[in-house]
Amino acid sequence: MTKRRQRHTPDQIVAKLKDADALLNVGQSLAQTLQKLEITESTYHRWRAQFGGMKAEEAKRLKELEKENARLKKLVADAELDKAMLKELLEGKW
């Protein structure tokens, strides 16, 4: 039986990282902590690298900025494509 993959919000990630810190400081092993939090070791290390010592608001803002950045990159790519097409039309290479 496999568990359905769950997406965590930035708030949930920060909360789980704080819980992990608390459990590790009490003396639990990493394996016990991860089992209690129901996450894998790779997920824990990825979250730790990405969200490190952030607060929930900072993590949420980071996700919003990443989403906005992706949207803007797509707009620039579309504009460059349009520019290239217009340039070809003006040169008569169609």
**pLDDT surpasses 80 at 3:** no
Average confidence (pLDDT) over 20-44 = 92
Structure tokens, 36: 């209690």
Using alpha carbons, select from 22, 13, 23 the residue that is nearest to residue 45.
13
Are 40 and 34 a contacting pair, CB within 8 Å?
yes
pLDDT tens digits, one per residue of 53-69:
777 788 888 889 999 99
Are 73 and 64 a contacting pair, CB within 8 Å?
no
**pLDDT surpasses 60 at 38:** yes
Q: Any alpha helices (H) in 1-94, and if so which ranges? A: 10-26, 30-37, 41-51, 56-91
What does the pLDDT read at residue 67?
Answer: 93
Question: How many CA atoms within 13 Å lie on the side-chain side of 37?
Answer: 27
